[in-house]
Amino acid sequence: MSAMFPLIVEGAMTRRGGKVLVGPVDLRLEAEGITMVIGPNGAGKTSLLRLLHGIARISAGRVTWACDEGEARRRQAFVFQTPVMLRRSVRDNLAYPLRLTGVDRVTARAQAEVWAEKVGLGDALTRPATALSGGERQKLALGRALIRAPDVLFLDEPCASLDGRAMRDVEAILRSAAEAGTRLVMSTHDMGQARRLASEVVFLLGGKIHDRGPADTFFDSPNTAQARAFLRGDIVE
């Protein structure tokens, strides 16, 4: 079990330009599972992930890992909806996170080749990352995040622009990561995907948690009228 958990969030809030983006939030996450963060556009899903990951400034409250902050930062990763590709080959993109931590070039490139196979890019090692399709870029982003074996991986709608085949491939990578012990916290607008992947669901509205529960319980009988309306496909504000 990861020494990072539990993650305890107490009254945490983040603002930008005087506007509250998310919070106050109280939340506790344990070491296992896939937490899907859902809610309408503008609900604060991205802001919550950034707050938990530590790349959004905490305006109030606190976010506390079971280990010290420096260790927590080293043991987590974040995949954005539109990942940034280095102007290098697929192999060098994958090796880059290892090189940053002091891994020698030969070892890093060997690990990169292993991970290229794992994410379905084994035949694209020498291709420029900037020439990849959207689905291939997201696979590369996942490989680049997972190559360091993070304890927790945050993902901000990683399948938002992907077709069905690419989405299936990405979901398979995510399931494998979770089975290997990586804790996943992911936002999505796709309720089919949430049902397929989630072990628990956090429903955000107006920057606050309006409902939360195990996935089967949440989808069968959400606790709040807003969550029920959202799952019906109604407009929720």
Domains, the chain, with CATH or none? 7-80+153-161+183-232 (3.40.50.300)
- Give the separation between CA 180 and CA 27, rounded to whole angstroms: 24
Give the pLDDT of residue 23.
94
CB 231 within 8 A of CB 219: yes
118-147 mean pLDDT: 96
pLDDT tens, residue by residue, 35-54: 999 999 999 999 999 999 99
For 60, phi then psi, to 5°, come to: -160, 160
pLDDT at 18 over 90: no
- Give the separation between CA 36 and CA 179, rounded to whole angstroms: 16
pLDDT at 70 over 70: yes
- pTM here? 0.95
24-31 mean pLDDT: 96
pLDDT at 1 over 60: no
- Give the separation between CA 48 and CA 46, rounded to whole angstroms: 5
Mean pLDDT, the chain, whole residue set: 95
pLDDT tens, residue by residue, 168-201: 999 999 999 999 999 999 999 999 999 999 999 9
- Pinpoint the alpha helices (H) of 161-235: 164-179, 191-197, 215-220, 225-232
- Give the separation between CA 167 and CA 169, rounded to whole angstroms: 5
Query: Which candidate, 165, 80, 175, 75, places its Cα nearest to that of 118?
Result: 175
> What percentage of the chain carries pLDDT values higher than 90?
94
